[in-house]
Structure 1
Amino acid sequence: MITQQTIQQIQSRIDVVEVVGSFVKLKKRGVNYIGLCPFHNEKSPSFSVSPTKEIYKCFGCGKSGNSISFLMEHEKYSYVEALRWLANKYNVEIEETEVSPELKAQYQVADSLYIINQFAQQYFAEKLFNSEEGEDIAMSYLKERGFREEVIRKFQIGYCLQDRDAFAKAAIAAQYNPEYLQKSGLIVVRDERPYDNYRGRIIFPIHNQSGKVLGFGARVIGKVDRAPKYINTPENEIYHKSKILYGSYFARQSIDKNDECLLVEGYTDVVSLHQAGIENVVASGGTSLTPDQLRLVKKYTKNLTIIYDGDAAGVKAALRGLDLAIEEGLNVKLVLIPDKEDPDSYVNKIGASAFQDFIKANKKDFILFQVEILLKDAGDDTNKKAALVNQIAETIAKLNKTEDFTKQQDYIRRCADLLRIEEVGLNNLVNKFIRDKVQKQEGGKQSFQQPDDGQYYDDAPPPFIPEEDAGSLFNKDEMNERGMVRCLLEFGLKPWDENRRVADYIFEESVEQNMIDNKELVRVMETYKVWYDEGIEPSTKNFLYHEDQTLSAMVVTVTEFAYELSTKWSEHFDGKMPTIEDTYRADVTSAITYLKIRKIRRLMEENQRDMQNPHTSEELMVLLQTHMHLKQLEQDMIKQNGTVILK
């Protein structure tokens, strides 16, 4: 785990304008910066960044947050990955809490493999572009396949020379550990001599979500009878094939923007489609889809369109990941490329625009497609048809979330029609599979321990999504609760009187009397009080960069800037401009007063309800006196603090 000292160092150096400006073109306007929102399509800028509050806010789509949540939302990083990105940007050395010797050794191996892979990627790219063999054999082959130089450089494609040990010699000469070179799959050792594992092949680097090279796919040039078409990196501390989708690093923003992920099989399919301008595409590497890969897709979108070859093998490959995709809650469509073509060859054949039109026109619902294929395969075989019905019912049963009920019922109706069976019977069979699954799960739930290595966070806290910006929809109570918490965050350390700070006054007047209803706001105040009592002087920044993203999100919505005072206002304002120092006590008093009056009104309502119940004359008199006392308190408070408008 990253130490708190490191996190504080990172926080102290963060410049939200600099971080957001790395991805969005910003222009200064007044005290803030504006630009086009990266989270939705817009022509007029409504995306604002406040350097003083260290937050951003889009007044078009409602997205808001801080530097860390921006990286988590825009780049789909986990919290730890965002911290590592910021540490790298601001040259902060990361310190980790004490870990076991075994885990520490594992981290060291992982770091070594990353460094070796980076060296290898640069070496292979240099040989592709700057060696006679690379240009004559590999580059000519790539250009013959239609790949342009800019896309080759974008994907960092390279070439391994045909010499038996050219790379091995270069790596060992650079003092890289031969043991780690073997573990990376870059070299093999025979008769105690190192040899290049990928010699004479085109090299496709495989990146993780932050752009680091995890491993390689090495493709043979042309057709070779005996040699495998691809050699991939073996499983090691950083390369886990079941958790990788090739091209996801380059596709993540386009997937997010289009709200759809296109899935193909091969590396060249991804590169060709990117070259054609279709960038929301990733590849499974020719293997069956795994839960980890599907969860990776789900980080960006719930809409998955699988594009596979139209031959029998392609159809079977497409069907293999169906149930898993449905269990992950993805909306799955299937597109089959015409026989004897693949996405790479087909997009080059018909062009980018026609390919996109083909995808839109030929999307098939995955479940209904499965019914059609299995029906055709079953023919008139009664046993196969019975097995088919069970298989489809089990698939539909995967849609067992509450929000999927309507979709599930629609599938039951349509599949029953295709299968020519009773809808009620299929519905009962689906429910049986659901019951069976529930009974199996009752024995105990699985827990998953996630590695803290910055690579995969399948069950990590979700990227920060702020509450909808609908201030007019908040009831007045909620708005004033937020107002009081904002006063605590912004003015808590300022003096209230000779003996107390604002924080002391707020805690005396509100928290101890339980005047806040919103549980998340209560959590903010409780966290503030813990720090305050421990002698820490809390600020908004402590919350903005808190590891608990729900806490951070709440503070962002409380402090976000709907309006800012223009720097030119003084040119038109005659007299002294009021400052925070002049107004903060009035702001705090106003917030506390509203909440006190609200509490009095609630007590009055409870008292009135109690008066409707049967009582003795003495009890009724006490209730009437209580009502008069509360009413007098309310009137005195309004007179003392000015007019308060109540609903």
Structure 2
Amino acid sequence: MAGLIRREDIDEVRARTRIDEVVSAHVTLKNAGVDSMKGLCPFHDERTPSFHVRPQAGMYHCFGCGESGDVFTFLQKMDHVTFAEAVERLAAQAGVQLRYEEGAGPDREQMGKRQRLVDMHAVALQFFREQLESPEAAIARGFLSERGFDRQAAEHFGVGFAPRSWDALGKHLRGRGYTTEEILAGGLASQGNRGGYDRFRGRLMWPIRDVAGNTIGFGARRLYEDDQGPKYLNTPDTQLYHKNQVLYGIDLAKRAIAKTKQIVVVEGYTDVMACHLAGIETAVATCGTAFGPEHIRVVRRMLSDDAAHSGEVIFTFDGDEAGRKAALKAFELDQRFVAQTFVAVEPGGLDPCDLRQQRGDEAVRELVSGRRPLFEFALTSTLAGIDLSTVEGRVRAVRAVAPVVAGIRDRSLQPHYARFVAGRIGVEVEEVTAAVRSAARRAGAPAAEGPRGRLDAGAPGSGEQLPPPAVGPHNHWGADPADPKAQVQRQALQVVLQQPGFVNARLFDRLDGSVFTVPAFRHVHEAMRAAGGVAAAAKTPQGWPERVRQNALPEVAPLVGELAVAPLPAQPGAALERYCKAVVARLFDLDMLRIAGDMHARLQQIGDSNPQEQQHILRQLQVLEANRARLRATF
């Protein structure tokens, strides 16, 4: 197993990678001043660019939604990969050989074999797409046309056709240099008594891709009546493809999911196509298996599904009994999400593809917008089929719904739904409530959760409990814009993040956090201390703002990004150095003014009761005022 990537290698990758070049692959950037670029934010919808990138700082920040980070964070959020995967991808592009703290790192031979399989699937995809234009594929084109998908749609989703020949694809791949063993290993062929033969024959083909857009498998739909195989045939589990971990359409949906914090789970390839073409670009589907725990891990990573960032998971199911059972199964998995879960079922039993074909794009959009909370659907489905006109039926109904109500994750909603089902069943709410309590005890349900996302506001490394910082990109983080002291604090933090080389590390790192009267600014200062202070920044300047951001409270991390990206009001060179030193000097002056205030307060306390201490404080005040005078001469 690979160990942790060495910190110096991560820093080397960061140093060799221009964040603006990586971001430009996703966002059109324009110059916005010295060392500043901006464009439309990829994480939320906007018309006026508020997404800023600072190549020199290696950071990005959106002044509209507050998203911020470095080049690794950007890749993680855009392509939904892990930190290690982001580093490894950029290392390969930058030519950096990574070393690992424990273990030998990835098996290079296996990585090479995997890349061969990825490349082979790209060749197979192109082959299938070209075959869709052949005379033999008329049946496949007709299938698509009958369901409202034209040639442009087929090209967009990479749909192709597998000829009925036993070895058309195999011959093509061997002609491109791939061995029979590789074709078998990739799941594109099956082993028979006379050797390998094409797994997919006479079928409509959909490429199944990973988050990065690499084709890792295929889904194939039966077209001919004499085809004795299953209606849908997928790639078997291989080194690339694991059906319990892949979602069809994830490569096309990932950016819309990141923007909207919503994911729509449908049941088939054509349903995904229909949803995307109707404007629901967050739709994905499982591939030949039920939605399960492994898929949840993928979805949670796509949504950044944690206490601070929750979203919506919407399941669409057919309106038949199988769809009802699937919805109830999804409800059992609901506890694994922080996101709110919903269900969208068309009353007539139409799936999104049929719905679009019969009623148009707007009907598909209305289906999704009319979603219902999953637990509401689970409750009504549980009551369906129970005769509520008899006493025995009502008792059975209470017993049936009690575990469902007890299973609702948000405990504050349980009383509401207890009243909801009591009205449906026709019993007193106390009867349902008692049954819910009993069901919760049997299940060992946890206590009610507190407010989501609220973290301890105490400053890291400090015994003092600071008030929680204000949040939001447009509220000045609790600072009065007209307060000159607050402006000095903000400007000084900007300088320390962006130009630590112009800051006296010895003095700043010894600075008492009390000088920051704005709680959010004090939190940033504490994050700087936790990241090693300016002394650490001087030793390893690359990645300094990101290290501070990682050490900040979740509520404060966007502010760190904002301070690291907001342009300083000075041109590079001597003018910038003078500005930076003057701003930090003003902060030191504020701190000395605070200390002087404490001394004057102490003098008033002791009065004439302790002449010796009184003289000592007066001498300290004289020294302090002399230091202030020298300091003020520098700005």
CA distance in 2, matches of 1:609, 1:287: 77
Among residues 421, 437, 444, which one is paired with 1:415 in the alignment?
A: 421
Q: Which residue of 2 aligns with 1:590?
A: 586
Deviation at 1:193, TM superposition (A): 0.5
Secondary structure of 2:385's match?
helix
CA distance in 2, matches of 1:13, 1:269: 43
Deviation at 1:481, TM superposition (A): 6.1
Aligned 8 A contact 1:124 1:203 in 2? yes
Give per-residue Cα distances to partners, 1:259-300, cap 9 Å, x unaligned.
432221001111122233332211134643223323433433
Q: Which residue of 1 aligns with 2:343?
A: 334
Give per-residue Cα distances to partners, 1:142-171, cap 9 Å, x unaligned.
233322222212222222221112222333
CA distance in 2, matches of 1:321, 1:279: 21
Q: Does 1:71 align with 2:71?
A: no
Deviation at 1:350, TM superposition (A): 0.9
Q: Which residue of 2 aligns with 1:274?
A: 276
Among residues 354, 357, 376, which one is paired with 2:366 in the alignment?
A: 357
Among residues 456, 470, 476, which one is paired with 2:475 in the alignment?
A: 470
Question: How has the CA–CA distance of structure 1 residues 584 and 320 changed in structure 2, closer, same or farther, with 3 Å as cutoff?
Answer: closer
CA distance in 2, matches of 1:489, 1:39: 24
CA distance in 2, matches of 1:203, 1:415: 46
Question: How has the CA–CA distance of structure 1 residues 170 and 553 changed in structure 2, closer, same or farther, with 3 Å as cutoff?
Answer: same
Secondary structure of 2:539's match?
coil
Question: How has the CA–CA distance of structure 1 residues 291 and 624 changed in structure 2, closer, same or farther, with 3 Å as cutoff?
Answer: farther
Q: Does 1:18 align with 2:14?
A: no
Question: How has the CA–CA distance of structure 1 residues 353 and 623 changed in structure 2, closer, same or farther, with 3 Å as cutoff?
Answer: farther
CA distance in 2, matches of 1:583, 1:338: 66
Aligned 8 A contact 1:371 1:418 in 2? no
Give per-residue Cα distances to partners, 1:22-67, cap 9 Å, x unaligned.
2223333433333333333333333333334333333333333333
Question: How has the CA–CA distance of structure 1 residues 440 and 44 changed in structure 2, closer, same or farther, with 3 Å as cutoff?
Answer: closer
Q: Which residue of 2 aligns with 1:80?
A: 84
Deviation at 1:327, TM superposition (A): 3.9
Secondary structure of 1:407's match?
helix
CA distance in 2, matches of 1:82, 1:295: 18
Deviation at 1:630, TM superposition (A): 7.0
Aligned 8 A contact 2:492 2:587 in 1? yes
CA distance in 2, matches of 1:139, 1:289: 30
Secondary structure of 1:123's match?
helix
Deviation at 1:566, TM superposition (A): 8.0
Q: Which residue of 2 aligns with 1:445?
A: none
CA distance in 2, matches of 1:274, 1:372: 30
Aligned 8 A contact 1:481 1:595 in 2? no
Question: How has the CA–CA distance of structure 1 residues 243 and 425 changed in structure 2, closer, same or farther, with 3 Å as cutoff?
Answer: farther
Q: Which residue of 1 aligns with 2:453?
A: none
CA distance in 1, matches of 2:625, 2:527: 32
How many residue pairs get aligned? The number is 587
TM-score (norm 1): 0.77
Q: Does 1:374 align with 2:375?
A: no
**Which 10-residue stretch deviates more, 524-533 or 312-321?**
524-533
CA distance in 2, matches of 1:348, 1:46: 39
Give per-residue Cα distances to partners, 1:177-199, cap 9 Å, x unaligned.
43443333211111150011111
Quick one: which amino acid aligns to residue 242 of structure 1? N
Q: Which residue of 2 aligns with 1:48?
A: 52
Among residues 181, 184, 190, which one is paired with 1:182 in the alignment?
A: 184
Deviation at 1:240, TM superposition (A): 2.4
Calculate percent identity across the aligned residue pairs: 26
Give per-residue Cα distances to partners, 1:331-368, cap 9 Å, x unaligned.
223222244632112101111123323443x4333222
Secondary structure of 1:241's match?
coil
Q: Does 1:33 align with 2:33?
A: no
Q: Which residue of 2 aligns with 1:114?
A: 118
CA distance in 2, matches of 1:245, 1:385: 41
CA distance in 2, matches of 1:393, 1:351: 40
CA distance in 2, matches of 1:419, 1:503: 70
Aligned 8 A contact 2:271 2:353 in 1? yes
Gaps of 5+ in 2: 304-309, 448-470
Quick one: which amino acid aligns to residue 64 of structure 1? S
1:608-619 to 2 correspondences below 5 Å: none
Aligned 8 A contact 1:396 1:408 in 2? yes
Secondary structure of 2:49's match?
coil
* RMSD (Å) for aligned C-alpha atoms: 4.1
Aligned 8 A contact 2:209 2:248 in 1? yes
Question: How has the CA–CA distance of structure 1 residues 115 and 4 changed in structure 2, closer, same or farther, with 3 Å as cutoff?
Answer: farther
Question: How has the CA–CA distance of structure 1 residues 555 and 126 changed in structure 2, closer, same or farther, with 3 Å as cutoff?
Answer: same
Deviation at 1:124, TM superposition (A): 1.9
TM-score (norm 2): 0.78
CA distance in 2, matches of 1:208, 1:167: 22
Question: How has the CA–CA distance of structure 1 residues 71 and 162 changed in structure 2, closer, same or farther, with 3 Å as cutoff?
Answer: same
Question: How has the CA–CA distance of structure 1 residues 600 and 140 changed in structure 2, closer, same or farther, with 3 Å as cutoff?
Answer: same
Deviation at 1:395, TM superposition (A): 3.3
**Which 10-residue stretch deviates more, 43-52 or 208-217?**
43-52
Q: Does 1:166 align with 2:171?
A: no
Aligned 8 A contact 1:597 1:637 in 2? no
**Which 10-residue stretch deviates more, 260-269 or 25-34?**
25-34
Q: Which residue of 1 aligns with 2:461?
A: none
Deviation at 1:220, TM superposition (A): 0.8
CA distance in 2, matches of 1:229, 1:622: 96
**Which 10-residue stretch deviates more, 579-588 or 594-603?**
594-603
Give per-residue Cα distances to partners, 1:410-468, cap 9 Å, x unaligned.
22332333233443444454445555665899xxxxxxxxxxxxxxxxxxxxxxxx974
CA distance in 1, matches of 2:324, 2:197: 39
Secondary structure of 1:309's match?
coil
Give per-residue Cα distances to partners, 1:66-96, cap 9 Å, x unaligned.
33333333443432343345446x4535535
**Which 10-residue stretch deviates more, 162-171 or 477-486?**
477-486
Deviation at 1:484, TM superposition (A): 5.0
CA distance in 2, matches of 1:200, 1:481: 69
Q: Does 1:314 align with 2:323?
A: yes
CA distance in 2, matches of 1:374, 1:434: 17
**Which 10-residue stretch deviates more, 477-486 or 15-24?**
477-486
1:153-302 to 2 correspondences below 5 Å: 153-221=155-223, 223=225, 226-285=228-287, 287-298=289-300, 299-300=302-303, 302=311
Question: How has the CA–CA distance of structure 1 residues 548 and 92 changed in structure 2, closer, same or farther, with 3 Å as cutoff?
Answer: farther
